[in-house]
Structure 1
């Protein structure tokens, strides 16, 4: 069979013999990303704390009849991104089995809570609600998972990522940190302070790691994603038996309108995640970027950027 044209989608985005890790890959956006990479040929390790969720997703979404004849595979690997020993153990297992890592997607994230009152309730009520928020279970956990863990997970996998250039792909290793548009806005999205602040930190950590890891002695690409709303356990509250999430479109539109956003009519789709992920993964000319993928949410609120 003739080789595909070098500018065809198959040539541009083929990931045969690539190895990837997607944290929080058992559900939601992480699962969408894992499916994208595997469908295009990669061996994808999905990580998380819930072994049963990972195994179910690998079985249901990693099968050849789901991914295609020329696809890679999805493999479950338990790893807690907030536990350094767990991270170290997972990196050692992949190093022993694979010897290199082409792609690391730091996707795991949490949303904890927001104050029970609103600014419209006045200074006493809103101040009391803000002060009542938990420090450890809310603020510290948000920063630990959303902003700190990408730093430590990347550090543990860095030697394997540096070896990607010698893998069959012959491209430098790449890190994608999945942040959020919440980290770019001045508007608090109904006062979700801890989440938004942690995502702003995640974006800044991404920029700083991109700078340091581009050093010629390391040569690893780092880019970020600032996502809007996509169906996940975080945005819808649950997953179905296939570990995928659904949502009510009209309720979602009403929620956005409560924040002054009227032109975004739906959440994003797996297809829209996929096209961006494949570009970030395969384009060796993208270094240190933060890609906004939000259906125009931030465009509605330019004064909040």
Structure 2
């Protein structure tokens, strides 16, 4: 269990869910992990759970000053990065075109697209040749789900940035791939339910859209991130890896 021995990783959006599960897996594989999140209480709890190989830095990816502070901290620690998992993101359900507000548009694009773009840009000086960049996409980018237009558009943008960056960064020895999770039982997904009492039914309804008829555990998504981050995927770049229980491939 040492696929990432002596490696240093940065995971954004790592306080809960897929980000936290991936941090756990990376540390189990020997990595040192910087983790970020906007909510200090949750981030600190995650760091305590992960132990001494986790370094928590409170950061909002949509805030460029926060990003500068984050990468300044990594540089001040005299660390360079081997892995960047640009995972921070979010969205709001039930926002059809006729009720969409500029505030929701700006907030969602600010976190999912602007935040990802400048996280990757500002990480470049610290990334070692041979490093791996993993972006979090979404099966929503392949579907026309009513009320999810802005969120879906942000994830379609991430997919295209992944393609372009794979071409741009290959001469630097960097690989860029996009991970596409399906329904995954995380606090973030449950938070999209109309109210907490309906969260379980909401997740179950999404899970029924997959051939496997269940939601993923975050640890299952973390396994796929590990594959893309490690030398096991050394000849893979510019790709999408669907970890969606067959949702998009079987029920396009």
Please give the residue correspondences for 1:116-155 in structure 2 after superposition, counting only pairs within 5 Å: 130-136=97-103, 138-155=104-121
1:30 matched to 2:16? The reply is no
The answer to whether the 8 Å contact 2:13/2:19 transfers is yes
> Structure 1 residue 279: deviation in Å?
1.2
| Distance of 2:97 and 2:136 partners within structure 1 | 27
Partner of 2:148: 192
Specify the alignment match of 1:252 in structure 2.
Answer: 203
Residue 189 of structure 2 corresponds to which residue in structure 1? 235
Report deviation, 1:231.
1.8
- Map of 1:210-289 to 2, 5 A cutoff? 210-215=166-171, 218-237=172-191, 248=200, 251-255=202-206, 261=209, 263-282=211-230, 283-289=233-239
Structure 2 match to 1:158: 124
Q: Which residue of 1 aligns with 2:10?
A: 21
* Corresponding residue number in structure 1 for 2:163: 207
Long gaps (5+) in structure 2: 193-198
TM-score, scaled to structure 2: 0.89
Partner of 2:37: 48
* Structure of greater Rg: 1
Say whether residues 1:109 and 2:59 are aligned partners: no
Superposition CA RMSD, Å = 1.9
Q: Please report how far the alpha carbon of residue 251 of structure 1 lies from its aligned counterpart in structure 2 after TM superposition.
A: 4.8
Q: Which residue of structure 2 lines up, in the alignment, with residue 59 of structure 1?
A: 48
Matches within 5 A, 1:78-97: 78-97=58-77
Change in CA separation of 1:270 and 1:211 when aligned onto 2, cut-off 3 Å? same
Give the Å deviation of 1:104: 0.6
- How far residue 135 of structure 1 moved from its aligned partner, in angstroms, is 1.4
Q: Deviations over 1:89-137 (max 9, x none)?
A: 110110121331011110001112323xxxxxxxxxxxxx62222112x
**1:255 Cα deviation from its structure 2 partner:** 4.4
Q: Unpaired segments of 5 or more residues in structure 1? A: 1-9, 64-71, 116-128, 166-171, 239-246
